Chains A and B, each alone.
Chain A
């Protein structure tokens, strides 16, 4: 269970290094990098914090992962959760911030 950083999208703002609850993200050569993917809790704080959608979340192979990527576009009203599958297709689920969980 972990996140991955797409270096070509990273602008080096450092916001993810601030917000990771495990201090796992650091700047290396002005790009964000994770110390050890095995230490990630999977909270997606960094995914939601990144202004460039340069960080995605994925299910590791030992959790049944099949190569899908979960990105988040986070604004004041909603989070657009975007899933990208290995064949290039995409799906999106929007969670509205003013809407409580039904369950």
Chain B
């Protein structure tokens, strides 16, 4: 493959919510900096917001304060949060919302002109075109250049400092080296680690983007960055089959969950995000399932409004209602839990960062789902983190870039690509088959759907052996083109994220978030685990580091 080089002051990896907002910030506030935004697909619809989004779920409504949001997120995560990160995020939520409205996002207004709230911390929008709106704003910036369809594989690291990244241009079939003074990682979290709800034809009908493969986590681990809280997995409670959101109905219309006997059961289990999922798991195991959102009896107007709302974010649900004849007005909506994901935007998995969103690697900043310690950030929180990371990276980029011997770097990268190139393979396995094997092992032994999200020390050990075996096998895979190679790299990213996740699950010997992670050997919450479980990859092994909850800002990145 041909090797191409590009230079910038700041390299942004990933053009989803956080990456686009970072680019926008650098465009508007730092026109002197030359910025490159690189995306695996096309920023118009890439990332989590491809289909749209139903509401802005992080907003401080009148009568509430950013500290209220911090308190809410802390309680929902049973205390395992970085309050400093949550506060700086919460303080920026309303400004980024106003910015998005200026760019063209439609937000529902009250007669007095204020935003119409859906709850105390979220507002109603039309989010179908949120991504095209953001993408257009980014493309309007004269100092930001966008490179679509380039998948970043790894950072360029010189003397412990991140000086760029390299990737594969999927359309040009080229290797691209991006050299920069500062790098912001905004690649999102990891889907596809566990067997999905529908492993066959609809294997990608999932909550999170199936194209978010944990690349940022894997790149960080390989470069020696410290990660946090992978064990706080996120599992979404969704509409059965379509995996469409439930909040629109539960919170929007305001209907309760009921079991097949018509009983409202939520009160028995508590009302955190994890507990709402756990309630469904327990009811099903008790023989009371399936579980539903009790929509039967809503008005025709409500049903019609729901149909339109789902078209703006999850069209499958509207098609399902019309096609099956099971309209929400006449039938309750069945719900189920998804497979587990590793994310930093709903839960708190990701890079261990400072208040300025700097990672433990010099020159590297993180924002959005890839950044840890700051859950419940959702779309607007990802914007704020993108903004903070952009400002910090701009400051860092004022320093001169170190001299790099590109000849050696290029040679190493070419050899790595060469290793996986080739039409003929001697292995009977493919990346797809190994991915299925990984998902099956994680499902059975690391708390997937099949095991009702529970695991034990013994089962985690078995999962670890499978992941090690698959990592070995993945080394023998070969691909004839850039897309095929992308599939190999994605598999290897996921396997490394699984390796780290298993170490985190084993290290937290308690059950802090029933539903999200149930350790069957330790079914209770334990005081000694009021700590962060962090990790680093050292000589191929995941080393666990415990960090106190009240880590002061200066200690956070030490």
Q: Which residues of chain A have a CB within 8 Å of any CB of chain B?
A: 1-2, 18-23, 35, 37-45, 57-66, 68, 70, 79, 81, 83, 85, 91, 93, 95, 97-103
Contacts and interface: CB of A to CB of B under 8 A. Distances in A.
Interface size class for chain B?
35 or more
B116 A100 contact: yes
Contacts of A2: 201-202
A70 B205 CA distance: 16
A23 to B, nearest CB: 6
A22 B211 contact: yes
B305 A102 contact: yes
B525 interface: no
A21 B249 CA distance: 27
A64 B320 contact: yes
A98 B51 CA distance: 17
Nearest to B301: A102
A48 B525 CA distance: 47
Interface string B157-182: 00000000000001000000000000
A83 B321 CA distance: 12
Contact of A93 (B128, B308, B316): B308
B149 interface: yes
A41 B204 contact: yes
A100 B126 contact: yes
6 contacts: A19-B41, A38-B200, A42-B51, A59-B319, A66-B323, A81-B311
B108 interface: yes
A100 B319 CA distance: 20
B40 interface: yes
A1 B106 contact: no
Contacts of B46: 21
A21 B211 CA distance: 7
A19 B202 contact: no
A99 B319 contact: no
A95 B306 CA distance: 11
Contact of B51 (A23, A44, A68): A44
Interface string B28-72: 000000000000111011110011001100000000000000000
Contacts of A91: 322
B312 A101 contact: yes
Contacts of A57: 315-316, 319
Interface in B107-147: 107-108, 116, 118, 124-129
B290 interface: no
A68 to B, nearest CB: 4
Interface of B: 40-42, 44-47, 50-51, 54-55, 106-108, 116, 118, 124-129, 148-149, 170, 198, 200-206, 209-211, 241-242, 248-249, 251-253, 305-309, 311-313, 315-316, 318-320, 322-324, 483, 486
Contacts of B40: 23
A33 to B, nearest CB: 13
A65 B319 CA distance: 9
A66 B320 CA distance: 9
Select the residue from A1, A22, A61 with max chain B CB neighbours within 10 A. A1
Contacts of A21: 41-42, 45-47, 50, 209, 211
A14 to B, nearest CB: 11
A63 B241 CA distance: 5
B203 A59 contact: no
B263 to A, nearest CB: 25
Contacts of A35: 483
A83 to B, nearest CB: 6
A95 B126 CA distance: 10
A68 B128 contact: no
A73 B7 CA distance: 41
B44 A18 contact: yes
A102 B148 contact: no
Nearest to B242: A63
Contacts of A100: 106-108, 116, 124-126
Contacts of B129: 97
A66 B124 contact: no
A19 B311 CA distance: 18
B210 A41 contact: yes
Given A38-B203, A39-B204, A68-B322, A101 B316 contact: no
